[in-house]
Homo-oligomer: A and B are copies of this chain.
Amino acid sequence: MSAEHGRIGHFQLENGLDVVVIPDRRAPVVTHMVYYRNGAADDPHGKSGIAHFLEHLMFKGTKAHPKGIFSEIVADLGGQENAFTGHDYTAYYQRVAREHLETMMALESDRMTGLVLKKPEVLSERDVILEERKMHVDADPASQIYESLQAALFTHHPYGTPVIGWEHEIAELTREDALAYYRRFYTPENAILLVAGDVTEDEVRALAEKTYGQIPRRSAAPVRNRPKEPPPRAERTVLLRDERVEQPAAYRAYLTPSHGTTQNGDAHALEVLSQLLGGSNASLMQKELVVNRPVAVNVSSWYRNDAVDDGYFGIYAIPGEGVTLEALDGEIDAILRRVTDEGFADADIRRAKTRLVADLIYAQDNQAQLARIYGAALATGGTIADVQDWPEKIEAVTNDDLKRVLDRYLKRKVAVIGHLEKAA
């Protein structure tokens, strides 16, 4: 990372808690995050949504700090807070003036063990989540096709199950489920504390020992026990026609390694590929399908790489006036065939790498984003060194690497294609 930031500190408390300190002295503020190494993909089969449910329930208070007090203190201190659940982790976050770091650590460590769940509150929160799901999914065909695509891509691995959970399973989650899940995963051995900001490693160590360090070691960190996705054998298409669709769209997704499962630098090559194909307004697909010819109104690509298990490479395109989704698919296929054979222009590769590395440098301007980069890496099995070596690995990607990953992973015959159409 750049010289503006000090050395990243990384140590472990005696109870197994990982601690990462990211010095950033530009302003007297700190970002305090805790990542738990469990997310929706660790939900017990049949209890989907429990990781996300527990994220909500973590705001229900403890004996020492009853419901609402934590958030009230953060607000009174002029701070910000948030929490989020992914497939691989659940994270809690506050940003406060540096002198309030200890307060945040005391509160967050308190709810690592002291959560109090009352049945009526659990049930009413469950209703909130069911309503959230209804609003986001039932009312939105784009969300529905996204869920269907994920389920088609990951037929066996739990990444195919939405983070929020399937409605019929959320509806059956109980207080006992939540408590069992809490006891299993909310332990120091399973957590990563990240503090970014105007603070030294020694200061964080002292405060962490005083707060989180008081929690006894529970046991070994829970093991992630997830089935692998079998190799796909067929092309799969998901078609959703709905009268509420305003904008038809073509999706596609290819099962790929992630940073967690990659070999031979394939993940870094896929990152550069994603940037080249559809990562910006200057990308190849954007130029050829949007700017030069009116085939598409918009096209983008992305690569889900920060995952414990295999991820995927995605492409999304909105067709131009009068262009069918099938025709659009054909245009995308033609571009992919060409770059698989011929690779990219050296200048384009250079520009894509510069952009990717610059994005990481810009991210350093944002404490919270920086903490999230390290948090996500560590929570998915990566290391501080993986993050720090990343620019070098990106720079090392060659045209041959790009052709190799195109040929190896972006095969139409095992793609998942999605078509979202307006119902007649």
> Which residues of A does B touch, CB under 8 Å?
45-46, 48, 144-145, 147-148, 151-152, 155-156, 160-161, 166-169, 225-228, 230, 232-241, 413
Contacts and interface: CB of A to CB of B under 8 A. Distances in A.
A236 B166 contact: no
A275 to B, nearest CB: 30
Among all A-B residue pairs, the 7 with the closest Cβ atoms:
A46-B227, A237-B237, A151-B155, A234-B240, A148-B234, A235-B239, A166-B230
A272 to B, nearest CB: 29
A328 to B, nearest CB: 17
A73 to B, nearest CB: 40
Given A45-B45, A152-B152, A413-B241, A234 B145 contact: yes
B45 A227 contact: yes
A402 to B, nearest CB: 26
Contacts of A155: 151-152, 155, 160
A166 B233 CA distance: 12
A147 to B, nearest CB: 7
Q: How many copies does the complex hold?
A: 2
A144 B169 CA distance: 30
A237 B236 contact: yes
A19 B145 CA distance: 48
Contacts of A145: 233-234
Q: What does DSSP make chain A's interface, helix, strand, loop or mixed?
A: mixed
Contacts of A167: 230
Contacts of A166: 156, 227-228, 230
Contact of A236 (B227, B239, B413): B239
A81 to B, nearest CB: 32
B240 A233 contact: yes
A51 to B, nearest CB: 15
Given A144-B233, A168-B230, 10 more contacts: A45-B45, A46-B226, A145-B233, A147-B233, A148-B232, A155-B155, A156-B160, A166-B228, A169-B227, A235-B239
12 contacts: A48-B227, A144-B234, A147-B233, A148-B232, A148-B234, A151-B156, A155-B160, A156-B161, A168-B230, A169-B227, A237-B239, A241-B413
A396 B238 CA distance: 38
Contact of A234 (B46, B234, B239): B239
- Most B-side CB within 10 Å, residue of A147, A230, A234: A234
Given A46-B226, A226-B46, A236 B236 contact: yes
Given A156-B161, A166-B156, A168-B228, A148 B233 contact: yes
Contacts of A240: 233-235
Nearest to A415: B239
A230 B170 CA distance: 11
A129 to B, nearest CB: 15
A155 B150 CA distance: 10
A75 to B, nearest CB: 38
A152 B48 CA distance: 19
A112 B236 CA distance: 43
Most chain B Cβ neighbours within 10 Å, of A46, A156, A168: A156
Nearest to A166: B230
Contacts of A238: 234-237
Contacts of A48: 227
A228 B161 CA distance: 12
Contacts of A236: 148, 152, 236-239
